Amino acid sequence: MTLTLEQVKSKSAKRLLGLAPVVLAAALLWIERCYTRRGVAVIITQGLRTCAEQDALYALGRTVPGDIVTNARGGESNHNFGYAIDFALLLEDGRTVSWDTLRDADIDSLPDWSEAIDEAEICGFKSGAKWRTFKDMPHLEMTFGLSTADFRAGKRPIAPQVNAVFSQLTKLKEADELSAEDKKRLDTLEAAIAELGESRDVLKKSVLEQGNTIDKVVDRVAGLERRAALPTVPVWADKAVKAAHDAGLIDMPNGGSVDLYRILTVLYRAGLLAIDEED
C-alpha cells in the first residue's frame, strides 16, 4: 500500500468529531487494524449526523428526487447520537472512495469490504450488513443495547458497559504492539544469525557478544507466548530445547509456544546453543 497509515487516518479525521469517546476509540483502532492486519484502507464517510441532516437524508427518494438511503428520520438513527459510523474503501490515490463490496485490491480472495466488517466486529461494532431488512452495508454501530428511543430519551450506556469495550480495545492494541515488537526482535536475531556464516570462530565470538541479546530475546518470547503454550515439546525441537535447557536459557523444557521452539531450533542449528559442550 502506498498510502501511509497516517494519511489513511487523516482522511477520516473530520468525521470522527462528535462521536461518543468509546466509538471514537474503536473507530481509530479499527482503521489501524484494517490497514496493518488486512492491507485495507477504509475511510469514514459519516459520523455524527444532526437531526436536521438526518431529516434531509430521509427526504431523499420521498419528497426530494433521489434514491431512498435511510428509513430513519431525525432522531431515529444511531448516527444522531454519535454511536454509528458509515465507511467506504479508500483507493490507492488517497482521493477516490469505493462502495464496491466485492472489491479485492489486496488480492487475498477476501472482499476488502468483508475484511473491514470482520475487523469492525472485533473492535466492538455491529454491522448494518447483517441486518435482515434493509441491509445497510457501510453502516457500523455500537449501541450497548439501547434503542434510538432510549437515546432520544437521553439514556446513554452505563460506565461498566463502556469500560468493557475500552478494556477490550486496550487488549487488542497491546496484542498488536507486542506482536509487532516481537516480530522485529525475531527478525533482527534471525538476520544476525544469518550473518554469522559457517565459521566456528565467528560463531564463538558472536555468542560471547550476543549472549546477552539472545538471553533477552528468549526470555521475551517465552513470556509473550505463554498464552500459546504447547502441552509438550514438539519432536523437531527436542534437541534444541534440551540444549537450551542445559545452557540455562530456559527454566522448564515444557510449556513453550511454537514460536519459542522455533527460535530455539534456529539458535541450535546455528550452533549457538552447543558451543560449551563441543569445546
Binding site for Zn ion (CB under 5 A): 86, 139
Q: Which is nearer to Zn ion, 77 or 206 (CB)?
A: 77
**Least spacing, CB of residue 181 vs Zn ion, in Å:** 36
**Least spacing, CB of residue 79 vs Zn ion, in Å:** 5
**Least spacing, CB of residue 209 vs Zn ion, in Å:** 58
Q: Which is nearer to Zn ion, 76 or 112 (CB)?
A: 76
Q: Which is nearer to Zn ion, 128 or 157 (CB)?
A: 128
Q: Which residue is nearest to Zn ion (CB)?
A: 139
**Least spacing, CB of residue 36 vs Zn ion, in Å:** 25
**According to DSSP H, which parts of the chain are helical?**
5-12, 21-38, 51-59, 112-122, 148-152, 159-196, 200-224, 238-246, 258-269, 275-278
Q: Apex CA 43: angle with CA 52 and CA 175, to 5°?
A: 120
Q: Which is nearer to Zn ion, 80 or 206 (CB)?
A: 80
Q: How far apart are CA 149 and CA 127, in angstroms?
A: 20
Q: Apex CA 4: angle with CA 46 and CA 85, to 5°?
A: 15
**Least spacing, CB of residue 38 vs Zn ion, in Å:** 21
Largest CA distance in the chain: 89
Q: Which is nearer to Zn ion, 33 or 139 (CB)?
A: 139
Contact 278, 246 (CB under 8 A): no
Strand-pair category, 97-98 with 139-141: unpaired
